[in-house]
Amino acid sequence: MISSKLNGRLLLAGIIAYVLMMLSWAMQGNQDTTLETIAWASASEDWQNVGMIRMLAMMSMLVFLAGYSAWLKSINEASTALSIGAYFALFGIILMWVGLITGITGFDLSKNNADAAAALIELSGTGFWFGGTCMGISFLLVGLSVFRQKIGNPTLMVILAVLGLAALVGNFVMWQVWLGSFGLGLLLLAYIGITNKSNN
């Protein structure tokens, strides 16, 4: 079983992954369409650095997932809602990995096969979108479930649930809302991890 101290450190990996992903987006710049993304990838080898940073970010998300799942089990291993929340997080990260791999492959094919590159890049966006939706559902379920069980800090759990709902809705309405809500959710979980670590 993962100790509470190690679990706290693992939860910190989520915000590290978020920062790395933001860095990769800043390096890539703004492309509004798939064709613009293909043009960017085919014009230079910058996509390799972007892909490497995103790979590190997604590896960090795997570390976060281990801590997140262990944290939920430590709260109430018999809770169905928490188990479902953990599975949604797992599905979300799997879908994000699909998005990562198809996106990098699409960048690599951009010079030689624009049609295949376009299909893969669009699939990448779909993978990340569904992955983000699953993470929003996970935060919402976990926040509400822990709040109802009256475990830990109820204020933090309400905030986590609200951020999960905002991320879920924002993913359908405006991606910036999802981005901000998801980042704040990871930051909140990192705070919980630090607090958990310092109190044990």
Q: Residue 193: is its pLDDT beyond 90? A: no
Give the pLDDT band (50/70/90) at residue 4. low
Give the pLDDT band (50/70/90) at residue 2. very low
Give the pLDDT band (50/70/90) at residue 6. low
Q: Residue 198: is its pLDDT beyond 70? A: no
Most confident range, picked from 38-42, 61-65, 68-72: 61-65
The pLDDT tens digits for 92-150 are 999 999 999 999 999 999 988 999 999 999 999 999 999 999 999 999 999 999 999 88
Residue-number span of the structural domain to which 40 is assigned: 4-198
- CA quadruple 150, 154, 158, 164: dihedral positive or negative? negative
Q: What distances in angstroms separate CA 49 from CA 11, 43, 52, 136, one per listed residue?
A: 26, 14, 5, 28
Average pLDDT over residues 14-40: 90
Cα distance between residue 128 and residue 192, in whole Å: 25
Average pLDDT over residues 148-164: 92
How much of the chain exceeds pLDDT 70, in percent?
94
What is the DSSP track for 98-133? Answer: HHHHHHHHHHHHTTT-HHHHHHHHHHHHHHHHHHHH
C-alpha angle 177-67-4 in degrees, rounded to nearest 5: 125
Q: Residue 174: is its pLDDT beyond 80? A: yes
Give the pLDDT band (50/70/90) at residue 74. confident
Give the total number of structural domains in the chain: 1
pTM, two decimals, is 0.89
Nearest to 60 by CA among 92, 102, 95, 20: 20
pLDDT of residue 7: 65
Q: Residue 28: is its pLDDT beyond 90? A: no
Q: Helix and strand tally (H, E) in the chain?
A: 7, 0
